[in-house]
Amino acid sequence: MAQLAQIIVDVPTMQTNQPYTYQVPPRLENQIQKGMRVIVPFGNGKRQVQGFVVGLDQPTKYDGQLKAISALMDLQPVINDELLKLSKWLADHTYAFWVSSIYTMLPNMLKAKTTRIVRIIDEVDEQTAFDIFHGKDELDFATVQSDPQIVSRLLKLQKQKKVRFEYVVADKAKPKTTVGIRPQLDFEELEEARTSLHSNAHAQERLLSYLQSIIGKTVKQTDAERVSGLKAATFNVGVQKGWLAKVPVEVYRTPHTQEKLPNDEHLSKPLELNDEQQVAVNKIDQAIDDSQSKVFLLEGVTGSGKTEVYLQSIARALKNHKTALMLVPEISLTTQIVNRVRRRFGSKVAVLHSGLSNGERFDEWRRIERGEAKVVVGARSAIFAPLKDLGIIILDEEHESSYKQDESPRYHAREIAKWRGKSNSAPVVLGSATPSLESRARAMKGVYQLLLLKHRINKRPLPPIQVVDMRPEIKERGESNFSRELLAKLTDRLVRNEQSMLLLNRRGFSSFMMCRDCGEVLKCPNCDISLTLHLDSHTMKCHYCGHEEPIPRYCPNCGSREIRYYGTGTEKVEQELNRLIPNARIIRMDVDTTRRKGMHEKLLRQFGQHQADILLGTQMIAKGLDFPNVTLVGVLNADTGLGLPDFRSSERTFDLLSQVSGRAGRADKKGEVIIQTYNPDHYAIRLAQKNNYEAFFKQEMALRRQASYPPYYFTIRIMASHEDESVAARTMTKIKQELVENLMPSTIILGPTPRAIARMKRRYYYQIVIKYKQDQRLHSTLQRILQETQSKGRADVQVSIDPDPQYFM
DNA sequence: CGCCAGATTACG
DNA sequence: GTAATCTGGCGA
């Protein structure tokens, strides 16, 4: 009885989203393992695809003819049992394909590239041979795929059996190698060679004694040259005489962050903890020692020393011969935090972030996978790092929405962290100055354990925050992004040779209406959510319930004509600033100026070296940056975020403002913060000004409860898109009907409504939002809806489900 | 009747 | 995702 293997093939569709059974040919029987990549035939033709072994020798109900695995792509599994199990769980919970889940856990290089080649197997007419094949007997199909005429000619030739389609599955995963030196003789033989040398062959003699010192080992030639002080030519003589061989040795593509760190005694050793930190560390250490998969919420204001708590907990895990995983938002993955971890734990640290090339990422991944790296610091996807025996998982800035992936599989790193914590019996630490309402609510219920750091380490008070009301400003001075207050302070800093940071809140770019006299934002009468301007239909629409009304000319609150849609760009602000303060040197940071790799770091370095007086940027400058010479932080438009049709808009505004105020006056100089707004009385702004998270939490929770939003309800978003708007709309109406028929009455179904950007990439988008507390049949109903809408190639409607959307736009 | 394009189905 | 198969419409 031949051995069987269950394979997930790399064909991401609903209908192939299940293991297929293959025979294992005898030659592969003692090599194959779960978690390896394989090449298998799939389909009627000669098609070959990559797949993953997800099971061996499981019984199959399939009684057709089984095909055999063509080849193994790996000598070792690329995905271990824990992650394989997680990939299945992830696929189920995010309504994603299993194979897509597996790929998100692996470096890109492990995704094989399949190429299709068209080969001539019989005489074809000269015209074709010349036009299409250019005189050769084969052709890469990808180069002609977009030309329907050529494609149909090729298909015709295929029917006549004059050409054949062939598949090549090419592994991209290639370790980088360099030249290595390996002795080919044993000690005595080398000694013998030495005695028979010419007496003035000093270099060769030195080479022989060097080789004697590395018997049985392979050394990189560059290292060998350095250690022995010999030249490359001498090694070549050694090869000719058969003393040594040159063999390839694998080297890691070390990311540029690996440069030598200044040796800072102070930072490489654990710092002394204050009482609150000590309590937190003790509690976490206890959980590490007892292998408890508890979740801690470490809530601490800016500068309260959360990072030191993380570092000492990591040290504890390492001491217990475990590993540690620390996630930080991509944007703050700049040198500061990473360097601190590397100073403390040295070469045990691997870093994973989006700035790595595929090769570098692959190599860091292999260092982790081989157990050479024990501590991993990285952004969202690092949560899948193949560390074994995790002792602790840390999510810094746990409230950050970048921990949620907004494409399939739509996972939240926080949920994955909890899964892996359970699976490894390891504690999870969620850290933040402004925890997400979800996490904080769980801490209040005792699901998480709350650890509070109330005091700043340096005992320095947070900088004073001044809120400037922009409404009278605009009335008296006309359109401007700068209040007199802010201008005066900026000029003052220039005189004192200190630096300033200006933040332009880009979220909610120009799509909502606000009154410049009273700050009123046009809201939906049913949902209490801002209406979105749709220029195509010249109406204001609610994304949640579909309510629609004409664009107002007068403010419905105060009757003013000064009602406008709102929004501005960094470039425009920079121009205005140049005009207002001509001698200020400005660095602008936004998507445009930081698109090129390394520009982000470069601009920050320049600012750090005081090559500019003002750093002007979007959200990206708000996080984790410490510039001792910055004494003024200005937020140009605190309330744009508030206009968004999103129940989390207040929370995000509060987070952002809190974050920003921590940026001023970090060192000895006193800092201050100015917040410009049209809504000076909004609770998110008022409470951020007072640094009062507690009050914000209470007030926001009350609103969420009243409107049935998280954390009181869970949300799910269903999206459907089609080239034809009516098809998308009709599909959604049908889905809605099915939901109403199957879900519990307590479950709230909103929509379908067109999305804010109703048409994207020539497709129309509609969405339904579901709010529920618990609903037994929800998961199976959604699963069935996906099956029905995707299986029957239903006229190209694309339906996707987000189990925990962070944005509703 | 045969051919073609578009829809449908199956992939182990 | 791809390719073979099915279906129905239309021209010969």
Task: List Cβ neighbours of A496 (8 Å cut-off, separation of 6 or more).
Answer: A631
The C-alpha atoms of residue A651 and residue A399 are separated, in whole angstroms, by 10
Is 0.85 surpassed by the pTM of this model? yes
Q: Measured in angstroms, what separates residue A797's CA from nucleotide B7's C1'? A: 14
Nucleotides of C under 7 A from a protein CB: 1-5
List the A20-24 sheet strands across, edge first: A20-24, A3-9, A48-56, A37-41, A71-72
Q: Which amino acid is at A230?
A: L
Choice between A34 and A156, residue whose per-residue pLDDT is larger = A34
The pLDDT value recorded for residue A759 is 66
C1' of nucleotide B8: residue with nearest CA: A792
- Is A602's pLDDT higher than 70? yes
User: Would the Cβ of A712 be found within 7 angstroms of any atom in strand C?
Assistant: no
Q: What nucleotide is nearest A114 when CA is compared to C1'?
A: C1
The pLDDT value recorded for residue A522 is 82
Q: Measured in angstroms, what separates residue A386's CA from nucleotide C11's C1'? A: 63
For residues A182-192, average pLDDT: 86
User: Would the Cβ of A12 be found within 7 angstroms of any atom in strand C?
Assistant: yes
Q: Angle, nearest 10°, between helix axes A649-661 and A693-707?
A: 170
The C-alpha atoms of residue A415 and residue A421 are separated, in whole angstroms, by 10
Q: Measured in angstroms, what separates residue A711's CA from nucleotide C8's C1'? A: 54
Q: For strand A390-396 and strand A428-432, is the pairing parallel, antiparallel, or unpaired?
A: parallel
Q: What nucleotide is nearest A42 when CA is compared to C1'?
A: B11
**Length of chain A in terms of residues written:** 809
The C-alpha atoms of residue A621 and residue A504 are separated, in whole angstroms, by 10
Asked if A720 and A728 touch (Cβ cutoff 8 Å), the reply is yes
Q: Both tokens of residue A141?
A: 């199909």
Q: Kindly report the three-state secondary structure assignment for every residue of A455-483.
A: CCCCCCCCCCEEEEEHHHHHHHHCCCCCC
Q: Both tokens of residue A680?
A: 């000076």
The C-alpha atoms of residue A343 and residue A261 are separated, in whole angstroms, by 7
- Is A616's pLDDT higher than 80? yes
List the A539-541 sheet strands across, edge first: A532-534, A539-541, A548-550
Asked if A329 and A402 touch (Cβ cutoff 8 Å), the reply is yes
Q: Give percent of chain A above pLDDT 70.
A: 91
Q: How far apart are the first and last CA of chain A?
A: 56
Q: Which residues of A705-737 are buried (b: 16+ CB within 10 A; e: fewer)?
A: eeeebbbebbbbbbbbbbeebebbbbbbeebbe
Q: Both tokens of residue A414?
A: 């926080």
What is the residue-averaged pLDDT of chain A? 87
| Highest averaged pLDDT of the listed ranges A147-151, A535-539, A720-724, A767-771 | A767-771
User: Would the Cβ of A336 be found within 7 angstroms of any atom in strand C?
Assistant: no
Q: Measured in angstroms, what separates residue A21's CA from nucleotide B3's C1'? A: 38
Q: Both tokens of residue A91?
A: 């696929």
For residues A302-320, average pLDDT: 95
For residues A692-721, average pLDDT: 96
The pLDDT value recorded for residue A266 is 62
A222 is in an annotated binding site: no
A300 is in an annotated binding site: no
Q: What nucleotide is nearest A18 when CA is compared to C1'?
A: B12
Confidence of residue A530 (pLDDT cuts 50, 70, 90): confident
The C-alpha atoms of residue A511 and residue A532 are separated, in whole angstroms, by 6
Choice between A11 and A659, residue whose per-residue pLDDT is larger = A11
Q: Give percent of chain A above pLDDT 90.
A: 51
The pLDDT value recorded for residue A796 is 79
A515 is in an annotated binding site: yes
Q: What nucleotide is nearest A46 when CA is compared to C1'?
A: C3
A518 is in an annotated binding site: yes
Q: What nucleotide is nearest A14 when CA is compared to C1'?
A: C1
Reported as a single tens digit per residue, the pLDDT across A722-766 is 878 888 888 899 999 999 999 999 999 997 988 766 666 667 889
- Is A508's pLDDT higher than 50? no
A527 is in an annotated binding site: yes
Q: Measured in angstroms, what separates residue A155's CA from nucleotide B3's C1'? A: 15
- Is A333's pLDDT higher than 60? no
A5 is in an annotated binding site: no
Return chain A residues 158..217 having CB < 7 Å to nucleic acid strand C.
158, 165
The pLDDT value recorded for residue A190 is 85
User: Would the Cβ of A56 be found within 7 angstroms of any atom in strand C?
Assistant: no
- From A107-111, A207-211, A642-646, the region with the lowest mean pLDDT: A642-646
User: Would the Cβ of A103 be found within 7 angstroms of any atom in strand C?
Assistant: no
Confidence of residue A506 (pLDDT cuts 50, 70, 90): low
Question: DSSP E strands: which ranges in A213-269?
Answer: 219-220, 244-251
Tokens 């309800």 — which residue?
Answer: A713
Asked if A544 and A531 touch (Cβ cutoff 8 Å), the reply is no
Asked if A328 and A379 touch (Cβ cutoff 8 Å), the reply is yes
- Candidates A505, A517, A511; CA nearest to A481 is A505
A399 is in an annotated binding site: no
The C-alpha atoms of residue A433 and residue A701 are separated, in whole angstroms, by 17
Q: Both tokens of residue A517?
A: 């006299």
The pLDDT value recorded for residue A535 is 60
Q: What nucleotide is nearest A159 when CA is compared to C1'?
A: C4
Q: Where are the alpha helices (DSSP H) in A31-120?
A: 81-94, 98-105
- From A71-80, A150-159, A366-375, A653-662, the region with the lowest mean pLDDT: A150-159
Tokens 């494409």 — which residue?
Answer: A407
Q: What nucleotide is nearest A165 when CA is compared to C1'?
A: C3
- Is A509's pLDDT higher than 60? no
User: Would the Cβ of A16 be found within 7 angstroms of any atom in strand C?
Assistant: yes
Asked if A173 and A74 touch (Cβ cutoff 8 Å), the reply is no
User: Would the Cβ of A683 be found within 7 angstroms of any atom in strand C?
Assistant: no
The pLDDT value recorded for residue A18 is 95
Q: Which residues of A547-563 are buried (b: 16+ CB within 10 A; e: fewer)?
A: beeebeeebeeeeeeeb
Confidence of residue A507 (pLDDT cuts 50, 70, 90): low
* Helices and strands counted in chain A (H then E): 24, 33
Q: Measured in angstroms, what separates residue A749's CA from nucleotide B9's C1'? A: 34
Q: Measured in angstroms, what separates residue A156's CA from nucleotide C6's C1'? A: 19
Q: Measured in angstroms, what separates residue A795's CA from nucleotide B7's C1'? A: 9
Residues paired with A245 in a beta bridge: A182
The C-alpha atoms of residue A798 and residue A790 are separated, in whole angstroms, by 7
Question: DSSP E strands: which ranges in A463-570?
Answer: 465-469, 499-503, 513-515, 532-534, 539-541, 548-550, 563-565
The C-alpha atoms of residue A367 and residue A373 are separated, in whole angstroms, by 6
Q: Which residues of A616-641 are buried (b: 16+ CB within 10 A; e: fewer)?
A: bbbbbbbbbbebebbbbbbbbbbbbb
Ramachandran angles phi, psi of A240, nearest 5°: -60, -40
User: Would the Cβ of A141 be found within 7 angstroms of any atom in strand C?
Assistant: no
Exposed / middle / buried, residue A66 (Cβ in 10 Å: 0-12, 13-18, 19+): middle
Q: Where are the alpha helices (DSSP H) in A271-397?
A: 275-289, 306-319, 335-345, 358-369
The C-alpha atoms of residue A772 and residue A30 are separated, in whole angstroms, by 50
8-state DSSP, A508: T
| Highest averaged pLDDT of the listed ranges A276-280, A668-672, A749-753 | A276-280
C1' of nucleotide B9: residue with nearest CA: A792
- From A354-368, A482-496, A564-578, the region with the lowest mean pLDDT: A564-578
Q: Measured in angstroms, what separates residue A146's CA from nucleotide B1's C1'? A: 34
The C-alpha atoms of residue A778 and residue A392 are separated, in whole angstroms, by 33
- From A1-10, A546-555, A670-679, the region with the lowest mean pLDDT: A546-555
Q: Measured in angstroms, what separates residue A257's CA from nucleotide B1's C1'? A: 73
8-state DSSP, A581: S
Nucleotides of B under 7 A from a protein CB: 5, 7-12
- Is A30's pLDDT higher than 80? yes
A545 is in an annotated binding site: yes
- Candidates A371, A379, A423; CA nearest to A400 is A379
Reported as a single tens digit per residue, the pLDDT across A776-800 is 999 999 998 988 887 655 567 889 9
- Is A351's pLDDT higher than 70? yes
Q: Both tokens of residue A373?
A: 């790296």
Q: What region, left, alpha or beta, does residue A795 occupy, with left being phi > 0 and alpha being psi -120 to 50 degrees? A: left
Q: Both tokens of residue A20?
A: 């297929």
The pLDDT value recorded for residue A591 is 63
Q: What nucleotide is nearest A155 when CA is compared to C1'?
A: C3
The pLDDT value recorded for residue A752 is 92
Q: Measured in angstroms, what separates residue A249's CA from nucleotide B12's C1'? A: 40
The pLDDT value recorded for residue A330 is 78
Q: What nucleotide is nearest A21 when CA is compared to C1'?
A: B12
> What DSSP element (H or E) covers A493?
helix A484-495
Strand B neighbours with CB under 7 A? A 11, 13, 15-16, 19-23, 40-44, 60-62, 64-67, 152, 792-795
The pLDDT value recorded for residue A510 is 43
Q: Measured in angstroms, what separates residue A174's CA from nucleotide B7's C1'? A: 42
CB under 8 A, 24+ apart: contacts of A579-586: A580/A482, A580/A487, A581/A487, A581/A490, A581/A491, A581/A494, A583/A494, A584/A490, A584/A494, A584/A613, A584/A614, A585/A611, A585/A612, A585/A613, A585/A614, A586/A612, A586/A613, A586/A614, A586/A615, A586/A616
